[in-house]
Structures are given as structure tokens and as C-alpha cells.
Amino acid sequence: MFNSGSFHAASSHAESNTSGRTARATQAAIRHGDRQFLWHPYAPRTSPTDNLVVDSTDGVHLTLGSGQRVIDGMSSWWAAAHGHGYPHITAAAHRQIDTMSHVMFGGLTHAPAVELGERLIALCPSMDSVFFSDSGSVAIEVALKMALQAQRGLGRPDKTRFLTWRGGYHGDTQGPMSVCDPDNGMHSLWGSVLRPQVFVDAPPPRGSSSADLRAYMETVRAELVRPDSDIAGVIVEPIVQGAGGMTFHDAELLRHLRELCTETSTVLIFDEIATGFGRTGRILACDHAGVAPDILCLGKALTGGFMSFAATLAAEWIARAIDTPAGGGALMHGPTFMGNPLACAVACAALDLIDSGYWKESVPRIEQELRDGLEDLADHPAVADVRCLGAIGVVEMREPLDMALATRTVVEHGVWLRPFGRLLYTMPPFISTSEHIATITRAMRAVVAAHTPGEGLS
């Protein structure tokens, strides 16, 4: 039940003053309501920590309730790749919302969905079918289902499991959780509940020798060629493993995987929900390898971070196999908000920015600036590793970070970051200037200093 004593009452007087600062009473009411009722990602409900109130966003900035502006060094979890409120996307959203915000997709279609479908296929020409859904996790559920139905359609109903490498992350619903790293913090609770999948070691890190890569791929091959193999598909995040540990691997591995999957009629699924749309310096991370999967998942920056939306693309043979009687006759999925016109129109506007190519200059510059600002930390005694790729910069500490201290430190330096475990990392918006990146790297260095006895805040 709504408690009219707290936020609602306060917010009816919730004036921001002319400087944009939310009234102190309103901020307090928001915090209070938040603690009273709301779950936050991976956070305890009954002993909540204080979340920062955000009043508004513009460009690379979040404006906090206190009036302080901080740089969104996370692009709001990879999504706001072009910053917040990009005028071209905002205008498209307004236009679409005035025309048609939502309509069911069963038996109906519309121009925004068709335009987006065509444009996604143009980005990934080896695909020919697009399934729209409402979040990255659902896009993965759909990809897994596509692979299983396609295998049935090809007369292999006994192929029912998926192979993946450790260290991966694919979302929080049951299917994706089953292919996330089985041991790391996020989903280790579920070992006895989830479908047991086939896990091979985490991929060798970027820069491994060809001999190491070949030896590693032999272990993958061994699983796939076993006469009793029940593996329907291989699912991986190409080039960058994100929430599973922010690690990078070599493109050569993807070429090996592609060959192996083709050879063994295994469906190859690339999860580019985090890496897609320029984050690694190429439109898709798999472009670094020059290979395409059979099924491709996109999300996050698909709408430029305006709203939750995702797409699962499939090669022609997948759709054909699914549509046979043995395959089920049709893909058995159909979310209520499938093909939401507002999200499709917004995604088309975000694609305009991708097509404009501006990021092809800014992402390499950001990579260089992240390197310049962070790489020497690799010699710091508290730091285990520093790695940068595209608009991603990671400082891996030797010990777990103190989240409260890290958060306080970055905010004091005018930046928003959300570290986890031993990982302090940034994936800033592509519109970030050199000055923004310097501010972010200064904040990260201050976190390292704050975790180093004797150094204190710098």
C-alpha cells in the first residue's frame, strides 16, 4: 500500500530551486521511501545502504539531489553510450510517443519495428531474422530457445545443453543464469536448481601465445566432438567478459570457436548485449575477429540507454529449422511488449548516431586517454592488473574494494562509478571529452590511493 506520509506527500511540494537542487526535505523523503520499499540490484532489502538520489541527467552528467553534477563513468551500465538525453534521440522519442507508444505485435506490425529490423540486419548481414524483446536477459532466453528448437528441427532433439567458458555473465533469469559463471558471486546460489550446463575454463587472457590458445581450444573441441555430446550450442561474450570479471581475450579464440561450431553443427551464440554498438572500438566485438555467430544478442546501447529493449538476431538456417514441424513450427516466444514502437523508434535514432560514425574517432581517443591515465597503476602494490580496450578501462585490485569508501571517493572527485569485488572500472559515454576522461581516471587513481595504507586520498 502506498504510504502517503512519506514521499508522495513530500513530493507534492517537491520543488527544485532554480539551481536545480532538490529541496532537502524531498531528498530525505526519496531516500526514506527508497529504503522503505525498494529493492536495488544485488542489494540486501532489510539492511539497505543509502543510494544517491539523481534528479536529472544531461550529456555525460548525472545531477544529484544535492545539486552536484557527476560524470556517469558507467554509461549507466553500458547503456547510455551516447550520454544522456541526446537531443536527436529525445526528439525521436517525442515524435513516436505522440503517434503511438505501444501496440501488441501479435497480428500487427508497424514502421518503427520494420525500420529497426532492416537496419540491424544491415549491421550484421549474415543474419536474416530479428526477434525483439524487452531486456537483455530475455534476449538470451530467446537465443537459447532458438538454438534448442533449431537442433530439434534438424533432427537432433537430444542436443539439449549449452557449452560456455567460465567467467561469463548473461543475465539474471533462469536460462541465462545457467550459463553464467557457476562459481562467482552473482549466481553461485543456484547450482542445484539450474539446468547443468557444460563449463570449460575461462578463456586465456588477451595476449596469450598461439600455442596456449590452441591448447585451450583443444579442451573445447574435446567436449564438442564427444560421441555422446548433448551440446546444442556454445554461448560466449566475445572479446570482453563483462560482469563476470571484466576480462579481455583474443579474437583468435572466436575464429577457432566459429570453425569448431561449424564443424560440429553446434549453434554459436554471441552475447553482445554489453559489447555491441561501438564499445570495443568496432560496431560489434566479433568484428575484431571477422566472424559472425549463428545467433547474436543485442541490448543496452541499442536504445542509447533510453529504455530497456533487446534483440536476438538469427541466421537464416536457424529460422528455417525452427519453422519445421520437428522444430516446433514457430519460435515459441512472444512477450507482451515485443516490438514496442517507442523503443524501436528510439533505437533507430540511436542507430543514426552509430551510423554517423562519430564514435570511430572518440572511442580510440578514449582508449588512449584511459591508458595514459591508468596504465602506470599496474606497478602499484595494491593493483593486480590494468587493462583498457575501446571505451573500457579496468583496474583490478589485489584485495576487494571497500564499496562505501570507493563510492565516496569517486563522487568527491565528480564521478559516478560502481565498482564490484576487486574491480574498479569505467565505460564512459562516447561523447566524453578528454577532460571528462581525465576526471574519471583521476577519480580512479584516488580510489587506489584511498585503499593504500599511507597514501590516503590524492
Catalytic residue annotation: 42, 169, 271, 300
Stretch that binds ligand PMP, among 114-122, 129-137, 354-362, 414-422 (CB under 6 A): 129-137
**What is the DSSP secondary structure assignment for residue 333, as one 8-state letter?**
-
| E strand map for 160-286 | 161-165, 198-200, 231-236, 240-241, 247-248, 267-271
**What is the DSSP secondary structure assignment for residue 42, as one 8-state letter?**
T
Q: Is 135 annotated as a binding residue?
A: no
Strand 415-416 relative to strand 69-72: parallel, antiparallel, unpaired?
parallel
Scanning the structure block, which residue is given the C-alpha cell 497480428?
Answer: 107
Stretch that binds ligand PMP, among 18-26, 130-138, 359-367, 445-453 (CB under 6 A): 130-138
Question: Which C-beta is closer to ligand PMP: that of 145 or that of 170?
Answer: 170
Question: Which C-beta is closer to ligand PMP: that of 113 or that of 273?
Answer: 273
CB 332 → ligand PMP: shortest distance, Å?
Answer: 20
Question: Which C-beta is closer to ligand PMP: that of 242 or that of 281?
Answer: 242
With beta carbons less than 8 A apart as the criterion, state whether 267 and 151 touch.
yes
Alpha carbons 417 and 402: distance in angstroms, whole number: 13
With beta carbons less than 8 A apart as the criterion, state whether 268 and 296 touch.
no
Contacts of 186 (CB under 8 A, 6+ apart): 42, 169, 172, 180, 243, 244
Residue 33 CB: number of other CB atoms within 10 A? 18
243: contact with ligand PMP by CB under 6 A? yes
Alpha carbons 77 and 62: distance in angstroms, whole number: 13
Residue number, nearest CB to ligand PMP: 136
Question: Which C-beta is closer to ligand PMP: that of 342 or that of 446?
Answer: 342
171: contact with ligand PMP by CB under 6 A? yes
Question: Binders of ligand PMP among 265-284, rule CB under 6 A?
Answer: 271, 273-274
The correct pick among 124, 140, 302, 343 for binding ligand PMP (CB under 6 A) is 140
The correct pick among 33, 136, 153, 245 for binding ligand PMP (CB under 6 A) is 136
Question: Which C-beta is closer to ligand PMP: that of 65 or that of 299?
Answer: 299
Residue 50's alpha-carbon distances to 35, 55, 153, 208, 451, in angstroms, are 8, 16, 51, 42, 21
CB 159 → ligand PMP: shortest distance, Å?
Answer: 23
Number of residues that bind ligand PMP (CB under 6 A): 14
CB 340 → ligand PMP: shortest distance, Å?
Answer: 14
CB 395 → ligand PMP: shortest distance, Å?
Answer: 19
Q: Is 299 annotated as a binding residue?
A: no
CB 134 → ligand PMP: shortest distance, Å?
Answer: 8
Cell numbers representing residue 322 in the block = 525452427
Q: Is 334 annotated as a binding residue?
A: yes
CB 137 → ligand PMP: shortest distance, Å?
Answer: 3
With beta carbons less than 8 A apart as the criterion, state whether 254 and 137 touch.
no
Alpha carbons 359 and 434: distance in angstroms, whole number: 14
Residues belonging to the binding site for pyridoxal 5'-phosphate are: 136-137, 271, 335-336
Residues that bind ligand PMP (CB under 6 A): 135-137, 140, 169-171, 237, 242-243, 271, 273-274, 299
